[in-house]
Chain A
């Protein structure tokens, strides 16, 4: 009964979305206020109905309703409750329902918090957003309906992919989707502005919070996924340049570019058509990401559920939205003339450099991801493009970006003197070189990546601190002024410092990891660097829905016991899949990562030990980036702008 209600709610939401797509757009064209005004209640209703449908599906998973085909395929009555809930989106149909739920959520948020937008722009934004919703409701209802019943329900289900039964991954898809789909909002704003034919500083300010929100979620989602891969896949890799990872990374890169170019639109009314193009492309890459994941076009470790026919449907959706938006862009872009005048050396041009680097880096990731396909189609060559290519072709862009960042953010708007901007940074530069040099001196005969990464990290972090201090002026009361800086300034500093910390972490884990693989008898031990890993015992245990082989490991550093570790090997009988649960001793300086393997003929066990320096910096940096975004999102000027209709606006001077 609840399932049918959910199904019905979804069909109703489809109808509401069609209404919300057609009526406000006509209303905005004809300037009929009544027709424009229906967009807001429609957006709210659409969200409520989709939430009802999603809730009904979740209910079916929670109660293990095996008359539902989707529940049979992806759940099991013995599964822990958390994974019954996360099972709702751990499959194709459910994840598409989550996708469309978030589309409608963002639409509803724009309706609720968009009170300061001109009425016609708001109607158009909501209309375009509803159009995206319509495409995906159609996709769900016609090709991947989650509410299909089975005529003869089985006694139990086939279980969720065991790799997905993990807290990190339970929340990874919702965050990633909030990010992907959040970019639909910037897309809607861009298309609405193109239809409207008007883009000004106010548009830049309206679109920025949505980009920021999407980017925060994307950052958290990617970091969670990477962290999951690190501890779950069993060899401590954190990024594999897998097509599906790239699919989430490309929108992230473009969202970063968009965040920065929207600043130029907001402050200086320049780079308008480029910003619009970025907004369109960023969502385009989200759609490409969905297409890659859902079509199984590119082989990937993440391809859990896919189907070529669904891929074609998504390809059509993509062709329609990208084609339509780009045609509109080609027709209208020439009307968007820039207003600001600025010198070759200025904050504006530094932001332009940022955009060039990020967009080209995104292009490199894109072509590397698609190349196996292109090579097979056009050159009849079957080849692979793997991590070595991306490391070589992508990293230089990030190195240059890191080098330019502190300088660019120190430059003033309009016209700058490079010498004056560099002056406060010279000590920072010397210190950062010293840090890199120290790292170089301490290692011997290894790649340059480690020292370069540490230099960049130190350069960015200290550069942002100096930049922030520089904003407090001179003389008395600097501390007071520091605490009164706008939150956007703090956000900028935190996010930039987070990037530096992540870069240092990536350099650390990539350049200085040590591993050791050997068979250890029970009671025996392994020496790795200054650590001793002692295998005390191995037991076989029964988990709720798996069998586990657990190693009891004591970790010593220089002879002193520092941790008890429990690496596990699990076997899920229903899905017939093994997984590894690495035991990790976390620490700011390094992770000790222990994995237990198979029993050997002589009674010993395979023990893998990895020492991974600075690994946690990667995720701490990501957390700081997200926190910085959050601070910036809470900045006064967005809240004031929200009430601008009531009060005259006060703009903080940068």
Chain B
């Protein structure tokens, strides 16, 4: 907690910016992988920013850590798991469809099925419905119509 607080203080006092030149790996393939992965990892002290975008020093530490793992020969999955093991699944901007989270992923398609079913039912009803009852005009409306027609 204290580390977070200090990181936050640093963020406020010294402006730093997202990915710094000295962080960039010399191997362009590894760097490309690192950029892609860091877009999916959350900066923990920021409000809803990925570590790729964030200028907090904690984000910088995470970017360097991620690159160290990649240089050490980790696969993408291993490098991300390494960070998730230390910081919790809160760092993942893309929640994995496991456990209760499958509900989140399934919610959209399920709702679409439901809505499509209801919509189709409504359409069936409308296409087979008897033609709208042509309610005759009320006396008042008839009088107004005559009035207009006879003008």
Q: Is the CB of A386 within 8 A of B47?
A: no
Minimum distance in angstroms from A160 CB to a CB of chain B: 17
Q: Is the CB of A367 within 8 A of B104?
A: yes
Q: Is the CB of A270 within 8 A of B100?
A: no
Q: Is the CB of A371 within 8 A of B119?
A: no
Minimum distance in angstroms from B88 CB to a CB of chain A: 7
Chain B residues with Cβ under 8 A from A371's Cβ? 95, 104
A363 at the interface (CB under 8 A from B): yes
B91 at the interface (CB under 8 A from A): yes
**Interface set, chain B 48-68, CB cutoff 8 A to A:** 48-50, 53
A598 at the interface (CB under 8 A from B): yes
Minimum distance in angstroms from A601 CB to a CB of chain B: 10
Please encode chain A, from 353 to 395, with 1 for each CB lying within 8 Å of some chain B CB and 0 for all others. Answer: 1011001100110011001000100110111111111001110
B101 at the interface (CB under 8 A from A): yes
Q: How far is the CA of A598 from the CA of B111 in the complex (A)?
A: 49
Q: Is the CB of B95 within 8 A of A352?
A: no
Chain A residues with Cβ under 8 A from B2's Cβ? none
Chain B residues with Cβ under 8 A from A300's Cβ? 47-48
Q: Which residue of B lies closest to A244 (CB)?
A: B48
Chain B residues with Cβ under 8 A from A341's Cβ? 126-127, 129-132
Q: Is the CB of B42 within 8 A of A234?
A: no
B148 at the interface (CB under 8 A from A): yes
Among B99, B104, B126, which residue has its beta carbon within 8 angstroms of that of A368?
B104
Decide yes or no: A386 and B48 within 8 Å by CB, A360-B111, A364-B108 being known contacts.
yes
Q: How far is the CA of A518 from the CA of B28 in the complex (A)?
A: 14
Minimum distance in angstroms from A384 CB to a CB of chain B: 5
Q: Is the CB of A382 within 8 A of B89?
A: yes
Chain B residues with Cβ under 8 A from A301's Cβ? 46-49
Decide yes or no: A363 and B123 within 8 Å by CB, A340-B132, A379-B100 being known contacts.
no
Q: Which residue of A lies closest to B112 (CB)?
A: A360
Q: Which residue of B lies closest to A363 (CB)?
A: B111
Chain A residues with Cβ under 8 A from B99's Cβ? 379, 381
A40 at the interface (CB under 8 A from B): no
Chain B residues with Cβ under 8 A from A269's Cβ? 132
Chain A residues with Cβ under 8 A from B16's Cβ? 598
B20 at the interface (CB under 8 A from A): yes
Minimum distance in angstroms from B19 CB to a CB of chain A: 5
Minimum distance in angstroms from A61 CB to a CB of chain B: 26
Among A339, A364, A383, A600, which residue has its beta carbon within 8 angstroms of that of B89?
A383
Chain A residues with Cβ under 8 A from B39's Cβ? 387-388
Q: Is the CB of A388 within 8 A of B40?
A: yes
Q: Is the CB of A364 within 8 A of B100?
A: no
B21 at the interface (CB under 8 A from A): yes
Q: Is the CB of B115 within 8 A of A359?
A: yes
Minimum distance in angstroms from B55 CB to a CB of chain A: 8
Q: Is the CB of B89 within 8 A of A381?
A: yes
A421 at the interface (CB under 8 A from B): no
Chain B residues with Cβ under 8 A from A606's Cβ? 17, 20-21
Please encode chain A, from 208 to 233, with 1 for each CB lying within 8 Å of some chain B CB and 0 for all others. Answer: 00000000000000000000000001
Q: How far is the CA of A39 from the CA of B12 in the complex (A)?
A: 52
A157 at the interface (CB under 8 A from B): no
Q: How far is the CA of A237 from the CA of B88 in the complex (A)?
A: 26
Decide yes or no: A348 and B126 within 8 Å by CB, A299-B47, A375-B100 being known contacts.
yes
Among A240, A343, A608, which residue has its beta carbon within 8 angstroms of that of B48?
A240
Q: How far is the CA of A393 from the CA of B17 in the complex (A)?
A: 30
Q: How far is the CA of A206 from the CA of B40 in the complex (A)?
A: 46
Minimum distance in angstroms from B91 CB to a CB of chain A: 7
Among A349, A379, A388, which residue has its beta carbon within 8 angstroms of that of B123?
A349
B34 at the interface (CB under 8 A from A): no
Q: Is the CB of B21 within 8 A of A518?
A: yes
B18 at the interface (CB under 8 A from A): yes
Q: How far is the CA of A349 from the CA of B48 in the complex (A)?
A: 39
Q: Is the CB of A384 within 8 A of B132?
A: no
Interface residue count on the A side (C-beta < 8 Å): 65
Chain B residues with Cβ under 8 A from A233's Cβ? 53
Q: Is the CB of B93 within 8 A of A387?
A: yes
Chain B residues with Cβ under 8 A from A608's Cβ? 17
Q: Is the CB of B115 within 8 A of A569?
A: no
Chain B residues with Cβ under 8 A from A189's Cβ? none
Q: How far is the CA of A367 from the CA of B110 in the complex (A)?
A: 12
Q: Is the CB of A356 within 8 A of B48?
A: no
Chain A residues with Cβ under 8 A from B88's Cβ? 382
Q: Which residue of A lies closest to B15 (CB)?
A: A578
Minimum distance in angstroms from A582 CB to a CB of chain B: 12
Q: Is the CB of A243 within 8 A of B123?
A: no
Q: How far is the CA of A612 from the CA of B137 in the complex (A)?
A: 63
B94 at the interface (CB under 8 A from A): yes
Chain B residues with Cβ under 8 A from A580's Cβ? 17
Q: Is the CB of B95 within 8 A of A383?
A: yes
Chain B residues with Cβ under 8 A from A234's Cβ? 17-18
Decide yes or no: A339 and B48 within 8 Å by CB, A371-B95, A385-B95 being known contacts.
no
Q: Which residue of A lies closest to B128 (CB)?
A: A341
Chain B residues with Cβ under 8 A from A384's Cβ? 42, 48, 90-93, 95
Q: Which residue of A lies closest to B124 (CB)?
A: A344
Q: Which residue of B lies closest to A394 (CB)?
A: B108
Q: Is the CB of A389 within 8 A of B49?
A: no
Chain A residues with Cβ under 8 A from B22's Cβ? 519
A419 at the interface (CB under 8 A from B): no
B24 at the interface (CB under 8 A from A): yes
Q: Is the CB of A344 within 8 A of B90?
A: no
Please encode chain A, from 386 to 408, with 1 for each CB lying within 8 Å of some chain B CB and 0 for all others. Answer: 11110011100100000000000
Q: How far is the CA of A299 from the CA of B46 in the complex (A)?
A: 9
Among B12, B15, B17, B104, which residue has its beta carbon within 8 angstroms of that of A385?
B104
Chain A residues with Cβ under 8 A from B105's Cβ? 393
Chain A residues with Cβ under 8 A from B29's Cβ? none
Q: Which residue of B lies closest to A648 (CB)?
A: B148
Among A352, A364, A569, A597, which residue has its beta carbon within 8 angstroms of that of B107?
A364
Q: Is the CB of A517 within 8 A of B24?
A: yes
Interface hub of A349, A355, A519, A595 (most chain B Cβ within 10 A): A349
Among B18, B19, B115, which residue has its beta carbon within 8 angstroms of that of A360?
B115
Q: Is the CB of B107 within 8 A of A367?
A: yes
Q: How far is the CA of A394 from the CA of B123 in the complex (A)?
A: 25
Q: Is the CB of A389 within 8 A of B12?
A: no
A338 at the interface (CB under 8 A from B): yes
**Interface set, chain A 287-312, CB cutoff 8 A to B:** 299-301, 303
Beyond A348-B126, A364-B108, A576-B12, 13 additional contacts (C-beta under 8 Å) are A352-B122, A356-B112, A371-B95, A375-B101, A381-B89, A382-B88, A384-B93, A385-B95, A388-B94, A517-B19, A518-B24, A606-B20, A606-B21
Q: Which residues of A contact B (CB under 8 A)?
A: 233-235, 237, 240, 242-243, 269-270, 299-301, 303, 338-344, 348-349, 352-353, 355-356, 359-360, 363-364, 367-368, 371, 375, 378-379, 381-389, 392-394, 397, 517-519, 569, 571, 576-578, 580, 595, 597-598, 600, 606, 608, 648
Q: Could you list 10 A-B pairs, sorted by A, with CB under 8 Å?
A: A242-B48, A301-B49, A340-B126, A356-B116, A359-B115, A388-B94, A393-B105, A519-B21, A606-B21, A648-B148
List the 4 shortest-distance A-B pairs measured between CB atoms, nearest first.
A386-B93, A388-B94, A578-B15, A364-B108
